[in-house]
Amino acid sequence: MKVIKKQNIIISNPETKNFLADIFYPENIEKLPLVVFVHGYKGYKDWGAWNLMAEKFAEAGFFFVKFNFSHNGTTIDDPHNFADLEAFGNNNYSKELSDLGVVIDYFSTYDNVDEQKIILIGHSRGGGISILKTYEDERINGLITLASVDSLDRFPKNEAFEQWKKSGVYFVTNGRTKQEMPHYYQFYEDYEKDIHRFDVERATEMAKAHFLIIHGTHDESVNVKNAEHLHILHPNSELYLIENADHTFGAKEPWENDKLPFYLNDAVSKCIDFISNKM
């Protein structure tokens, strides 16, 4: 099956700023389910093996979209690097939800997309964002989380929080690039002023979509207990644990193999089966 790829499509969001998206889909005149992949913290659409993942979804008969959040630190001209740390520091959950809404609006109108079948797949923090959006947007009827957080209250605590409030910024070192990545205090202020909207636990309980939770048992970044908690909150969900898989299911940046890593391939296969059977 021939896969059509269109990459670095410029998407405009008046509430944030322009960002890029990619689409992968089979050469097919039929209307296809829309699958939107939502990257996580310090992530981006071209990271690691995400392109190979996109191809596998397209080969399975889906219209697959991945995109960069407008304030994830990449730019229109340099989508593979954190070239705009000022934007990264000014990111917040409101902006991410706004960007995701624009992506759904934009691609659900394509002629070969079935707007009655919209599925979100969120990785890590992107899982939390996807849960919130699924609760807010009744068009979404499929939700899959990969190594997702069970709360977006992931801010500094105690003395570190007071120092952040006082100075207005704290920095996190990117282990791969060694960049000192800023987080401005507006991030917490945005969260606090709309704290009920950003309640992942509540959204998980209330979400109406078919829900699959995938997590690796050796996740070093987001403990597998997060997945178990989400499953408890939404008993009708399906929990799929992958023994020995880490936070990125064996993928890394750069990914120089032409095949998906074993654990990520397992996760993607499970996703495809779930969507095919539930949608």
For 202, other C-beta atoms within 10 Å of its C-beta total 15
C-alpha distances in Å from residue 106, one per residue of 36, 78, 175: 11, 22, 34
| Confidence at residue 167, expressed as pLDDT on a 0 to 100 scale | 98
| Confidence at residue 208, expressed as pLDDT on a 0 to 100 scale | 95
Q: Is residue 104 part of a domain?
A: yes
Q: Is residue 150 part of a domain?
A: yes
Q: Quote the number of domains for the chain.
A: 1
| Confidence at residue 1, expressed as pLDDT on a 0 to 100 scale | 79
Looking up tokens 């690039």 gives 177
| Confidence at residue 274, expressed as pLDDT on a 0 to 100 scale | 98
C-alpha distances in Å from residue 77, one per residue of 20, 41, 265: 10, 20, 30
| Confidence at residue 156, expressed as pLDDT on a 0 to 100 scale | 97
Q: Is residue 168 part of a domain?
A: no
Q: Is residue 172 part of a domain?
A: no
Q: Is residue 256 part of a domain?
A: yes
Q: Is residue 8 part of a domain?
A: yes
| Confidence at residue 136, expressed as pLDDT on a 0 to 100 scale | 98
Q: What is the CATH number of the domain that holds 245?
A: 3.40.50.1820
Q: What is the pLDDT of residues 158-197, one digit of tens each?
A: 999 999 999 999 999 999 999 999 999 999 999 999 999 9
Q: Is residue 14 part of a domain?
A: yes
| Confidence at residue 135, expressed as pLDDT on a 0 to 100 scale | 98
Q: Is residue 86 part of a domain?
A: yes
Domain that holds residue 226: 3-154+200-278
- Interstrand relation of 63-67 and 113-123 (parallel, antiparallel or unpaired): unpaired
Could you say which residues of the chain have pLDDT below 50?
A: none
Nearest to 202 by CA among 276, 118, 132: 132
